[in-house]
Chains A and B, each alone.
Chain A
Amino acid sequence: MQLDAKVPGGPLSEKWDRHRFELGQISPANRKKFDIIVVGTGLAGSSASASLAELGYNVKAFCLQDSPRRAHSIAAQGGINAAKNYANDGDSIQRLFYDTIKGGDFRSREANVYRLAQLSNNIIDHCVAQGIPFARDYGGLLANRSFGGAQVSRTFYARGQTGQQLLFGAYSALMRQVAAGKVTIFPRREMMELVIINEQARGIVARNLITGDIETHAADAVILATGGYGNVFSLSTNAMSCNVTAILRAYKKGAFFANPCFIQIHPTCIPVHGIYQSKLTLMSESLRNDARVWVPRDSNDTRSPHQIPGSDRDYFLENKYPAFGNLVPRDVASRNVKKQCDMGKGIGETGLAVFLDFEDAINRDGKDEISKKYGNLFQMYEKITGDNPYETPMMIYPAVHYTMGGLWVDYNLMTTIPGLFALGEGNFSDHGANRLGASALMQGLADGYFIIPYTIGDYLSVTSLDKITDEHPAFREATQEVNSRINKLLSIKGKRTVDDLHRELGRVLWDYCGMARNEKGLLKAKKLVQQLREEFWENIIVPGSERDFNQSLEKAGRLADFLELGELMIIDAFARKESCGCHFNEAYQTEESEAKRDDENFCHVAAWEYAGYGVEPLFHKEKLVFENVELTQRSYR
């Protein structure tokens, strides 16, 4: 199958306008004849559901949690980018586009990224109209701050809770449509299977997490906005319920999975402190605006951080990258932190941490000013570690944070299954091999508010859709599949718990498919993951029954899917014989140990097609064509 990204012709800056004109339309009076399923209620899912309902479509929105407002977009801290140039520092759509594509190490699709930069401004306008309390200057205008990988201030923020406020905006728009009768909410539901009829996505099978009922829902199109799969590592900054199940089910039904090995490891997270640990907590990238990253020059230095004078500190990011300093992109920062710790210069009990120090900023701006910007983050840090960051520097270490990979989508955000769309972190489209800070919120909202409302209309207008209901035999079959999987899980009655096996999977992936990878390690990891998968299906213990509120069963189903994904990630990492962005293959590095791309052979998206359980997936490639930017070695020095 030849992948067609359906990128419109014409100059880059005119593509989206032109495309919008060329897209087919559904008239306002006819939209109510169409039912659309949206799985996930984070920024992408809520904004899509609300916008589609406003247009007149009938929307069914599904979420795992008890309310749409809890989706993990809520935890995004630092901010959202837009090319407003309010700071008068030379920003423009072109510059945001360029920074994003360069930040992604030239592994994303030009036209998608340009459109994202264009829409960024509409997002801010809309969010302000919704009543989102963004930070303001004394004159009442919107305030901006800087983020990694940029030399302008273009990040809009609401203290350290930007994701929360943006999600509440989308959630309130969604609730308004529920009240208007255009959206039906299905909370505490987990999508278990995608239903395909006549090669079109026509519905889902979901499990009611309270009663255990298996429910079937038919529709004219299905949108997956189910987020990323960072929890495959067991420990990540993702919420506990973040999972790959929905997109993996779609993959197994024929949707291609793109760049699964592109995992963002965020440099500034609270270090691991014990085996019982259930999750890791991010400390926003915005902190790097004011904090300085350092380690003692002498690894045997036992003085407390305050007693170590400047001359005995190694501000390794500032020294190595004078142009961007502490604000280098995440992949670069993480690798440098790892390198310091690998050299034995790490601090703390485990030696797996570096300092993130606010001393200079507090001396310069005063404690109040710093508290206004980052107060909630400092408080969170103190709650978890028991240390007060106003007095002692924070200790941080990289952790799994975001997944650039996801379902392959074309310019219309449609997967390789007609009628199945993927939005937000669940697709692969805009961030290449590394996402810049404050870009995830931008992408989720661009997809949901401003792209899918147009492109889904085109699909519905040009496609002939049979009239079907959930009485169709395909739903019965899918339900049987779901039931037999659940029964299998409950019947194994082995000796290892889900959490226990999941931790082991996470360790394997972290060691061999994490911040640095090599072929020997990947081959080893592949075997280990296969063994773990076998062990899972023979030795897992899942208590309780299927007709119950059974959290163990939920976790077991998700782990089964993570175990398949883990292998896919390894296969993808092995196949990409270059380093780019987050994917650092030790065999391919520059003399300064930066990621060394191979544009001749690997300037493509790797899209994997499912070929059966335990069978090597089929490789497809979408060649990336750069007409408007020159491919260069990224330099942040």
Chain B
Amino acid sequence: MTKTINLTLKVWRQKTTEDKGGFKIYYSRDTSTDMSFLEMIDIINEQLTLDGEDPIAFDHDCREGICGMCGAMVNGRAHGPEKGTTLCQLHMRHFSDGDTIVVEPWRARAFNIIKDLVVDRSALDKIIQAGGYISVNTGGAPDANTILISQETAEKAFDAAACIGCGACVAACPNASAMLFVGAKVSHFALLPQGKPEAARRVMAMVKEMDRLCFGNCTNETECEADCPKEISITNIARLNREFFKAGFFSSAK
């Protein structure tokens, strides 16, 4: 049932990358519990605009949990307290009247803050550029049904491929590691027959790039899995490690 609640928000405001930044307090009054978290910020921004102040900058786009554009730490949790939920799909019915909510940007060495809650995640694109693809040019593919893939394999590959690249895993990890992100992509292709020819080269190149970009290492904290809005399993990190060792021992890939 729809009801309204009153909330206090402590939001991180930072003008530019170089700016020091700090928390500012805002009040969200008569907030409908059917609203999404971002709609609540929309309303605060609408008021800030009318008051002649700078609205809170935040990334968002599809608002249906699939594009991976949105994200912020809400009370210390990436994308907020709900399991398997992006920030845009977090609804206010999960908060109570009188709550204080702390909202901060993703914090990681590899992600610079651009403004307020907006961060630069281009490092994730760079990791994909290092090898997150199957090298096939357009044209020349054989009939789609010449490759048989068991339903189980296809489903497992899908589970890994469902990663939306939002960066929550990096933000949630005490080491700011991107292992879940990399593990998901490596797994997606390692599981499928189409990905096998390049598997060794791919995993070596992607891990190397991840290290170069100052992402931390995995120490099995499993915070990434807990906060991943697509519930990508840390099994993918285990598979990444296995693929990495396999490539190191049994291939010429460096």
Contact = CB atoms under 8 A, between A and B. Distances in A.
Interface of A: 47, 50-51, 54, 65-72, 74-75, 84, 86, 122, 124-142, 158-159, 161, 164-165, 168, 171-173, 175-176, 178-179, 185, 187, 210, 239-241, 273-274, 276-279, 281-282, 379-380, 383-384, 386, 449-450, 453, 495, 497, 499-500, 541, 543-544, 548-549, 551-552
Contacts of A122: 139, 141
Given A133-B188, A140-B151, A380 B64 contact: yes
Given A70-B68, A133-B161, A379-B84, A549 B57 contact: yes
Contact of B138 (A50, A165, A185, A499): A50
Given A380-B64, A383-B65, A383-B85, 19 more contacts: A50-B138, A51-B138, A65-B69, A66-B69, A70-B62, A70-B67, A70-B68, A72-B61, A130-B194, A131-B188, A131-B192, A140-B149, A159-B158, A161-B162, A187-B122, A273-B2, A278-B39, A386-B91, A499-B42
B18 interface: no
Given A75-B62, A136-B150, A552-B55, A185 B125 contact: yes
Interface string B2-26: 1000000000000000000000000
B35 A172 contact: no
Given A65-B69, A273-B34, A277-B39, A175 B138 contact: no
Tell which of A47, A386, A450 has the most Cβ of chain B within 10 Å.
A386
Contact of B61 (A65, A379, A453): A65
A228 to B, nearest CB: 14
A278 B53 CA distance: 21
A276 B69 contact: no
A65 B61 CA distance: 8
Interface string B131-144: 01111111101111
B144 A128 contact: yes
A142 B144 contact: yes
Interface stretch (B43-51, B172-180, B236-244): B43-51
Nearest to A179: B129
Interface stretch (B96-104, B112-120, B210-218): B112-120
B128 interface: yes
B165 A543 contact: no
B114 A125 contact: no
Nearest to B85: A383
A72 B67 contact: yes
A133 B120 CA distance: 29
A210 B57 CA distance: 11
Contact of B194 (A68, A128, A165): A128
Contact of A543 (B53, B61, B91, B189): B53
Contacts of A276: 32, 35, 39, 42-43
A124 B144 contact: yes
Contacts of A185: 125
B49 A240 contact: no
Nearest to B86: A383
B148 A125 contact: no
8 contacts: A67-B122, A125-B142, A128-B144, A131-B188, A136-B151, A138-B151, A380-B89, A500-B46
Q: What class of interface size applies to chain B in its complex with A?
A: 35 or more
Interface of B: 2, 32, 34-36, 38-39, 42-43, 46, 48-50, 52-55, 57, 59-69, 82, 84-85, 89, 91, 93, 114-115, 118, 120-122, 124-125, 128-130, 132-139, 141-145, 147-151, 154-155, 157-158, 161-162, 164-165, 188-189, 192, 194-195
Given A383-B85, A497-B50, A541-B49, A140 B150 contact: yes
A279 B36 CA distance: 10
B34 to A, nearest CB: 5
Given A175-B133, A176-B133, A67 B39 contact: no
Nearest to A168: B161
A543 B52 CA distance: 7
A74 B129 CA distance: 19
B14 to A, nearest CB: 11
Given A70-B61, A276-B43, A129 B151 contact: no
Nearest to B67: A70
A384 B133 CA distance: 34
